[in-house]
Amino acid sequence: MVRLLIAEDESIARHGLVENVDWKSNGIELTAAAENGMEAYLLAQEFIPDIIVTDICMPVMNGLELIEKLCREMPSIRYIILSAHEEFAWAQQAIRFGVDNYVVKPVDDAELVRTVKAVYHKTEKMRREAFQKNIDYFLLKNDRLFMERYQQLEDQLVLALRFFQIPEMEEILDKIYAMFSGRQHSPDTGSTIHYYRSVCIRQFVRFREVLSAQGGNDIFMGIESVIENELLPLDSGAAILSWYRRKLHEYANVLVIHNQSRVERVVERAEEYIRQHYAHDIKLNDVSSEVFVSPQYLSRIFHSEKGISFIEYLNRCRIERAKELLHQKNISITDVAFKAGYNDYKYFSNVFKKYAGLTPRDFRKKLL
């Protein structure tokens, strides 16, 4: 998911961009909205967005100053500027700073969404092309099969991360390490060192992208600084591979803790949604959409945390509510079924007997 930050000093315009645009359905996560350049600068360091949409004329620090400052410190961020017609000269200057695009005010929401997505896709394409150039050294050495195997392992590693399968991550990581360690007879040329660094950076960038969509981006927060201070100074393939393995094992340990906490939060939100909507025709897909995980993942962690399936938990909630309603003699049993979330009385009666040991009618008689 694309991570976006907005900087706009006009309150109405800023709130309009936040409230009126359906960012999420377009695959865009709006991380924050700043009211001036300085606030945007600080928020960028906190949230590490992929793209910043910024006005030019702002107090404290204007848009051009913001871009110029961040370009030096966080070169991976891309920029889209918002400008009025009378600010065209400023917009031209911003383009010279390397800004990717601009949108003329008043902003058309659909145009802005298209622009954000276009900038992101263009950037991703450039990153892929740059990475492909980095592997030319090995391809020229007839290592195409080696690279294909590595790509397969990398995809498996990312998939394991996506589902927080830590043991599988450790196993795949060991395979990747063994593959590259086996090549240490090759001389440490500038090309190989650059390649190893590129592999590490690519991995961490992909991990952050995956976790960003799952609410775990903070785990790799500040990875640029880690890369700059720890990875770039290393000058041998063995040292880089050793660092790579150690660092990913460190992050894997953090993921274990994060995953348990995350699982608990997801299950709690799912429970809350079920308790609030049990009377409706809700399904696993509905709940999983609300808590932003796949139905398969929710089913697995729900059973793991609660010891029962999603359907069983839903039925228990409904039956408990039905028991409460059956105490009210003025409500017919058919209405009780409907209010508890069952449109089919016969099915309701069977489920009720399964959990309560009596039919709804017998249960009410026992209350008299």
CATH T-level assignment (fold) for domain 312-367: Arc Repressor Mutant, subunit A (1.10.10)
Please tell me the predicted confidence (pLDDT) of residue 8. 92
Q: What is the dihedral of CA 143, 145, 148, 150, to 10 degrees?
A: -70
Beta bridge partners of 55: 82
**Global pTM value:** 0.40
Top-confidence residue, 155 or 10: 10
Query: What number is the average pLDDT over the span 139-162?
Result: 67
Q: Does residue 140 surpass a pLDDT of 50?
A: no
Mean pLDDT across 163-169: 67
Highest averaged pLDDT of the listed ranges 84-93, 206-215, 293-302, 321-330: 321-330
* 125-136: pLDDT as tens digits: 776 665 555 555
- Quick one: pLDDT at residue 137? 47
DSSP codes, 16-36: HHHHSS-TGGGTEEEEEEESS
As a whole number of Å, the end-to-end CA separation of the chain is 58
Q: How many CA atoms lie within 13 A of 115 on its CB side?
A: 21
Give the chain's mean pLDDT.
79
Q: Summarize the confidence of residues 231-257 as an average pLDDT.
A: 77
CA 199 distance to own-chain centroid: 22
**DSSP secondary structure, 279-337, as one string:** TS---HHHHHHHHTS-HHHHHHHHHHHHSS-HHHHHHHHHHHHHHHHHT-TTS-HHHHH
| Domain boundaries, given as residue ranges, for the chain | 2-122, 135-256, 312-367
Comparing C-alpha atoms, which of 234, 2, 26 is closest to residue 100? 2
pLDDT for residue 127:
64
pLDDT band for position 150 (50/70/90)? Answer: confident
- Which residues face 82 on adjacent strands? 55, 103
Q: Please determine, looking at this structure, whether the domain spanning 2-122 carries the CATH number 3.40.50.620.
A: no
